[in-house]
Each structure stands twice: as C-alpha cells, then as structure tokens.
Amino acid sequence: MNTLTRENRDGDRAQTEQFVVPPASVIEAGDGYTLEVEMPGVTKDGLDISVENNELTIIGRRSLPVVEGTLIHHESRPENFRRTFELDPSIDAKKISVRIEQGLATLILPKAEHRQAAQDHRFLSFV
C-alpha cells in the first residue's frame, strides 16, 4: 500500500494518489508573508514542504486516530492534503520556516532583505 501512494517524482503522481486541497489564508506583513494551511490530523512528521521553480508545495499526510466500532455517519475525507502556491520572487525560499499546531500549519515566508523595498511585487496567486 505504501509503495502505491509513494510520491513519484518523474511522473503523474496525481494519478497514483488523490489529494484534498486544504483551505489556506495568506497574511502579509512588512517583512514577509504568513501562510496558514488547515490540515487536521497531520503532525510534524507528516508535513512535506518543497520549493521548486518558484512553486511551494505543501503535502500533509494524515495520521488519523483509530476509532473502534463501525462508522454510522461519515463526512470526513481520508485523503492526504496537497496544495501548491506560486512564490513571489521577493521571498527568500531558503528562509521559509514552518510549524504545525493542532492541525494548522503556519509557514513564515520572509522577503529577501535587498528586495524589501520593492513594493510592486506581490505574493502571487494560488495555483
């Protein structure tokens, strides 16, 4: 089962694994951006963040509590989370930091220092 869902770098991983797109918010402060992504059931170990070609991808693998008994009402989705964001060129990708608390991942995206003055750049749209 694990091999089936493992990320496949060279190809169409979307076909091997289904993801849920988590809700996210972006807050801008003077020296950078804060990105909040809702991923209930994801711990620090389940987080996978990568930056490639100015695109930030955040994957959250869920470790859901095992519940005894039979399911009689079901609304949650079992899939893992994935979302991609296009990064503003002013963001210093090397300084991105992340923490996750109660299923809410908070990423701090600082602007590179020499770019801070530039006002015309914006954190670009969600992909």
Partner 1 sequence: MTLIRYQTSELAPWSAVDRWNNLRDELNSFFELPVWSSFARAGQLFNGWSPALDLCQSNDNVIAVVELPGMRKDDIKISLHEGTLTISGERKRESSSNGEKAERTERYIGTFRRSIALPTRVDANKVSATYRDGILTVTLPKAEEVKPKQIQVS
Is residue 74 close enough to count as binding partner 1 by CB under 8 A?
yes
Residues 6+ apart with CB under 8 A from 34: 26, 27, 28, 106, 107, 108, 109
CA distances (Å), origin 70, targets 26, 40, 62, 65, 120:
39, 21, 20, 14, 55
User: Nearer to partner 1 by C-beta: 53 or 102?
Assistant: 102
- Judged by CB under 8 A, the residue of 2, 15, 53, 102 near partner 1 is 102
Is residue 77 close enough to count as binding partner 1 by CB under 8 A?
yes
8-47: contacts with partner 1 (CB under 8 A): 19-21, 23-30, 33-34, 36, 38-43
Distance of CA 114 to the CA centre of its chain: 26
Rounded Cα gap, residues 30 and 55, in angstroms: 21
Q: Total number of residues binding partner 1 (CB under 8 A)? A: 41
Q: Of 5-13, 49-57, 70-78, 110-118, which segment contacts partner 1 by CB under 8 A?
A: 70-78
User: Nearer to partner 1 by C-beta: 26 or 98?
Assistant: 26
Backbone angles phi, psi at 14, to 5 degrees: -60, -25
In this structure, is the dihedral angle defined by the CA atoms of residues 48, 16, 103 and 53, taken in order, positive or negative?
Answer: positive
Is residue 120 close enough to count as binding partner 1 by CB under 8 A?
no
Which residues of this protein are in contact with partner 1, per CB under 8 A?
Answer: 19-21, 23-30, 33-34, 36, 38-43, 63-65, 67-77, 101-104, 122-123, 126
